[in-house]
C-alpha cells in the first residue's frame, strides 16, 4: 500500500529536523574544538553523523513506501554555547524535543491504523530512550565537574571514548 501524502509530509518534517540536528551537533563540535575540548568535539561530531543516518533512514522508509521526501530549508544553528555543560544541556533539551516529535508521529500513525509506519517509528522511539539517557549522563558528569578544570579535562577525555 502506497504511503499517504499526509504521512510523507509528517515524516519529511522529521527528515528536515534530523538534518537540523546534524547541523546543531556539528556547530557544537566546531565550538568545542575552538574551546580546546577535543573529547566533546568528537562526541558531538559522532552525534551529528548519527543524526544524518536518522534522516537517511526516514527517507529510505518514505521511498520504500512509494513516496518522495519533501526537503525544506534548514535553519542555522547557534554557534556559541558558553560552556561544555551548557552545550550538553542544549543537546539534552534538543533530544527531548525530538522524543516529543516521534511520540506525536507515533500517535498519529496509530490513530490512522498505519501499522507499517508505527513499526518504522518504533525504532526511533527506542533510539530516543538511548539518546536521552546518553545526553543526560553527560550533563550529570559535567555538572559534577563544575568549574574544576581538572575534572572538566577528565570528562572531556571520557567523552572522546564514544
User: What is the C-alpha to C-alpha distance for residues 79 and 60, in angstroms, rounded to an integer?
Assistant: 30
**pLDDT for the residue 99:** 98
Total residue count of the chain as it appears in this document: 162
Task: Note the pLDDT tens digit of each residue in 47-99.
Answer: 999 999 999 999 999 999 999 999 999 999 999 999 999 999 999 999 999 99
Q: pLDDT tens across 97-109, in order?
A: 999 999 999 999 9
Higher pLDDT, 162 or 48: 48
Spatial distance between the Cα atoms of 16 and 19, rounded to a whole number of angstroms: 5
pLDDT confidence of residue 106: 98
Using the structure block, give the residue that is written with the C-alpha cell 491504523.
Answer: 113
Supply the pLDDT for residue 52. Answer: 98
Give the per-residue pLDDT at 55.
98
What's residue 20's pLDDT? 98
**What's the grid cell of residue 149?**
578544570
What is this structure's pTM?
Answer: 0.95
Q: How many CB atoms lie within 10 A of CB 9?
A: 11
CA distance 73 to 19: 10
Q: At what angle do helices 38-64 and 84-111 cross, to 10 degrees?
A: 10
pLDDT over 90, % of the chain = 99
Tell me which of 1.10.10.60, 1.20.1260.10, 1.10.287.70, 3.30.1330.60 is the CATH number of domain 5-159: 1.20.1260.10
- Among 7, 118, 25, 104, smallest CA distance to 63 is for 7
Closest alpha carbon to 61 in 94, 21, 95, 105: 105
Domain boundaries, the chain: 5-159
pLDDT in tens, 113-129: 999 999 999 999 999 99
Cell readout for 123 is 525504532
pLDDT one-digit tens code per residue, 131-155: 999 999 999 999 999 999 999 999 9
Question: In sequence order, which ranges of 37-148 are alpha helices (DSSP H)?
Answer: 38-64, 84-111, 115-145
Distant-in-sequence, close-in-space partners of 26: CB < 8 Å, separation ≥ 6: 44, 45, 48, 77
Tell me which residue of 102, 110, 109, 162 sits closest to 137, measured CA to CA. 162
Q: Given a cut of 90, is residue 162 above it in pLDDT?
A: no
pLDDT tens across 1-22, in order?
A: 899 999 999 999 999 999 999 9
Query: What local confidence, expressed as pLDDT, does residue 148 receive?
Result: 95
Amino acid at each position: 500500500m502506497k504511503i499517504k501524502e499526509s504521512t510523507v509530509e509528517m515524516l519529511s518534517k522529521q527528515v528536515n529536523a534530523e538534518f537540523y540536528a546534524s547541523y546543531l551537533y556539528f556547530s557544537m563540535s566546531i565550538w568545542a574544538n575552538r574551546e580546546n575540548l577535543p573529547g566533546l568535539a568528537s562526541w558531538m561530531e559522532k552525534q551529528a553523523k548519527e543524526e544524518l543516518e536518522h534522516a537517511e533512514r526516514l527517507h529510505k522508509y518514505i521511498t520504500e513506501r512509494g513516496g518522495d521526501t519533501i526537503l525544506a530549508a534548514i535553519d542555522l544553528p547557534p554557534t556559541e554555547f558558553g560552556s561544555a555543560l551548557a552545550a550538553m544541556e542544549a543537546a539534552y533539551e534538543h533530544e527531548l524535543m525530538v522524543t516529543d516529535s516521534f511520540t506525536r508521529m507515533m500517535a498519529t500513525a496509530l490513530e490512522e491504523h498505519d501499522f507499517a509506519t508505527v513499526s518504522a517509528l518504533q525504532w526511533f522511539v527506542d533510539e530516543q530512550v538511548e539518546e536521552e539517557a546518553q545526553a543526560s549522563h553527560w550533563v550529570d558528569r559535567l555538572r559534577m565537574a563544575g568549574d574544576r578544570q581538572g575534572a572538566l579535562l577528565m570528562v572531556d577525555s571520557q567523552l572522546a571514548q564514544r
